Amino acid sequence: MLKIGLIGAGSMGNVHNSCYSLLKRDHDVTVTAIADLRPQMREQAKELWPDASIYNDGSELLEKENLDAVDICLPTYLHAMFAKAAMEKGCDVFIEKPLCLSTEDAEMLLETQKKHGSRVMIGHVLHFLPEYTYLKEVKESGRYGELKSLVMQRLMGRGGSGGWEGWFQNLAKSGSVIVDLHIHDADFIRRILGEPKKFSLSARDNGNGFFEQITALFDYENKFVSAEAAWDYTKGFPFTASYRAGFEKAAIVFDSTGEAKLKVYTPDGKMLVPELEQNKDEGIKKFTGYYDELKYFCERCIEKKQIESCTLEDGVKTIKLVLSELLEAQKQHGGGIK
């Protein structure tokens, strides 16, 4: 039995909690403890696990519970301290992205993992989404020749309260759109193309040093690679993830808002809609990507195998890249973290 402690039962914690409930149907997993400062969130999460212990604070959960793994779905600025504490307790750890908010914390987590040997996985879910795994496979197989260009976008409207106590809108707690949203595409780019030689960017802030939009250009020699992210369009604007990948023998277009989300255009003028591999279970399809990444994490923990996808080491490289982008944006705007 893989005993899991869930620290943070907000929007993403609720998604993870639901995925574990689906996983228990054919995996020996159970959420035995839940921690969240908000009573309504704790109680909502406990509905799926009536026997789970509930706590007001994650530190108390770690102190009192005997766990195999800990899932951290807290605001980003709290990730490092709880991940370190979980590893020191001998637990394997799943950390929702972004990993942390400083290079010092990133290095500290690497040292902690090295000392205690915990399996650690970072929640970069794009690597488990069918449209992105398809692009990765096409690029690696060379099916359509060399990748010449890749343009990625991640856009959304402003909505809700900005998270618990408005933490999303606090640069020191979220890292703004650069660290929280743009990180998805930056991570995927470096994962399929390696480390960029350099980058340039244009960023827009809200007048107080908080960045709401970024377009970054990454230098991969003879490839055009860019990523745009924005999260302050009008409230009714739909969440939109997209990419355009130009290969020698095809163009692949993904748009999360389209009826046919993924299309391949070939030199003979044809448009193909690839059939993607994905779970047919409607309950699981609702959580596509999130279910698959947590399934991978749980199976690795149960089988005592090392994490090979979305590793802590890769997560550190990604957070260092986007923190460098944040620093460059701050230099351009003549400010620091506020």
Task: Convert 81-93 to b/e letters by CB count within 10 Å (16 or more is b).
Answer: bbbbbbbebebbb
Distance separating alpha carbons of residues 113 and 83, to the nearest angstrom: 10
Answer yes or no: do 195 and 299 share one domain.
no
Encode pLDDT of 101-149 as tens digits: 999 999 999 999 999 999 999 999 999 999 999 999 999 999 999 999 9
Check which CATH number belongs to the domain holding 263 and give it: 3.30.360.10
H-assigned helices in 38-78: 39-46, 58-64
Closest CA to 35 of 53, 16, 19: 53
pLDDT at 5 exceeding the cut of 60: yes
Distance separating alpha carbons of residues 233 and 156, to the nearest angstrom: 6
Answer yes or no: do 38 and 152 share one domain.
no
Average pLDDT value for the chain = 95
Percentage of the chain beyond pLDDT 70 is 98
> Domain tally for the chain?
2
pLDDT at 238 exceeding the cut of 80: yes
Helix (H, G, I), strand (E, B) or coil at 274: coil
Task: Convert 207-243 to b/e letters by CB count within 10 Å (16 or more is b).
Answer: eebbbbbbbbebebeeeebbbbbbbbbeeeeeebbbb
Cβ-proximal residues to 66 (8 Å cutoff; 6+ apart), any chain = 3
Strand pairing report for 29-35 and 53-55: parallel
In a domain, 286, yes or no: no
Encode pLDDT of 151-182 as tens digits: 999 999 986 557 777 888 899 999 999 999 99
Q: How far is CA 178 from CA 149, 165, 217, 230, 245, in A?
A: 22, 20, 13, 9, 22
- By the 8 A CB rule, do 316 and 107 touch? yes
Residue 161's pLDDT is what?
Answer: 53
Answer yes or no: do 119 and 213 share one domain.
no
Q: Which of the 8 DSSP states describes residue 163?
A: S
**Confidence bin at 281 (pLDDT 50/70/90):** confident
In a domain, 109, yes or no: yes
**Confidence bin at 282 (pLDDT 50/70/90):** confident
Answer yes or no: do 112 and 190 share one domain.
no
Average pLDDT over residues 80-87: 98
Distance separating alpha carbons of residues 215 and 152, to the nearest angstrom: 10
Q: Which helix (H) or strand (E) covers residue 172, if one does?
A: helix 171-174
pLDDT at 269 exceeding the cut of 60: yes
Largest Cα–Cα distance in the chain? 64
In a domain, 338, yes or no: no
Tokens of 268: 């003979």
What is the sign, positive or negative, of the torsion defined by CA atoms of 223, 224, 230, 236?
negative
Check which CATH number belongs to the domain holding 60 and give it: 3.40.50.720
In a domain, 131, yes or no: yes
Answer yes or no: do 95 and 135 share one domain.
no
Answer yes or no: do 51 and 144 share one domain.
no
Residue 334's pLDDT is what?
Answer: 84
Answer yes or no: do 226 and 142 share one domain.
yes
**What are the two backbone dihedrals, phi and then psi, of residue 54, each rounded to the nearest 5 degrees?**
-120, 145
Answer yes or no: do 187 and 225 share one domain.
yes
Say what the pTM is.
0.96
- Angle at the Cα of 185 (from 168 to 234), degrees rounded to 5? 45
**Confidence bin at 230 (pLDDT 50/70/90):** very high
Q: How far is CA 194 from CA 198, 201, 231, 282, in A?
A: 12, 19, 27, 35
Answer yes or no: do 68 and 180 share one domain.
no
Percentage of the chain beyond pLDDT 90 is 91
Answer yes or no: do 6 and 131 share one domain.
no
The whole domain housing 204 covers 126-280+318-333
Distance separating alpha carbons of residues 213 and 193, to the nearest angstrom: 23
Answer yes or no: do 99 and 156 share one domain.
no
Answer yes or no: do 80 and 99 share one domain.
yes
In a domain, 285, yes or no: no
